[in-house]
Amino acid sequence: MIPYEFCRKGHLNYVLDRNVKDQVCSLCREKLVRECEKCLGKIGSVIIGTYLPAIKRVSTSYKIERPKLCGHCGEILPWTKNMHDKIDGSGIWKIINPEVRDVSKSRFDTGHYADAVESVFKHINSKIKKIYKCKTGTELDGVNLMRKTFTPSEPVVVIDNLETETGKNIQQGYMELFTGSISAIRNPKAHENIEISADECVHFLFLASLLLNKLHEAQIR
């Protein structure tokens, strides 16, 4: 196993580093965290790829990721809590669409960032699916649903004035935004075990907030 530890800010430190022996981070001088502060369980790791001992002198590719929660009791670890405090302090949950907050905040708060994103885009797909079926009697899903719902040619959900060229362009643009979000964000996260950071998660959640806001303002035909 690779000898390493994390500091309270989440920096990776190798045990052979002199500062690690002094129990402080070699980058920021913060205290190293070796045990969960709640249950005192030893903090583990997530290693992606294959690790071979250096003594074999084999070049290999691996990535070490910080765990978000204690593997023993589920407590949020200090570096995860620091990020959550920063984001909560910025007030994003007060300005983001309430549906995003209701669907994603609890998942975000427990460090399940990809799940928070997947869930809110599934929620968007589900809302549009219900609207489309109610108006047409036909059930569609995913990319095809978005194209049919927002197409500038006889849309079910009208984003802008289709009697003007500008309005048609806006309608086309939002059709592509909704379609692209399902194709590039919801679908990959629903079918693969993808990990994202807290910062990435927030950007995705604001995109979901924009789409929900536009859906609420739109005219349903």
| Domain residue limits, the chain | 4-76, 91-220
Question: pTM for the complete prediction?
Answer: 0.69
- Structure confidence at residue 190 (pLDDT): 58
**Cα dist from 98 to 92, 107, 115, whole Å:** 11, 15, 18
Query: Higher pLDDT residue, 9 or 189?
Result: 9
Quickly state the pLDDT bin for 191 (edges 50, 70, 90).
low
- Give the Cβ contact number of residue 52 at 10 Å: 11
- Structure confidence at residue 107 (pLDDT): 92
Residue 1, pLDDT above cutoff 80: no
Residue 121, pLDDT above cutoff 80: yes
Quickly state the pLDDT bin for 192 (edges 50, 70, 90).
low
- Structure confidence at residue 38 (pLDDT): 87
Residue 127 near residue 138 (C-beta atoms within 8 A)? no
Mean pLDDT of the chain: 83
Residue 27, pLDDT above cutoff 60: yes
Those residues whose C-beta lies under 8 Å from the C-beta of residue 109, and which sit 6 or more positions away, are 76, 84
Residues 70-79 have pLDDT tens digits of 888 888 888 7
Calculate mean pLDDT across residues 123-138.
Answer: 96
195 beta partners:
none
Residues 83-118 have pLDDT tens digits of 777 777 678 898 999 999 999 999 998 888 899 999
What are φ and ψ of residue 63, in 5° steps?
A: -135, 130
- Give the Cβ contact number of residue 124 at 10 Å: 23
Calculate mean pLDDT across residues 171-183.
Answer: 96
- Structure confidence at residue 167 (pLDDT): 96
Quickly state the pLDDT bin for 58 (edges 50, 70, 90).
very low
Single-letter amino acid code for the residue at 23 = Q
- Structure confidence at residue 79 (pLDDT): 78
62 beta partners:
49
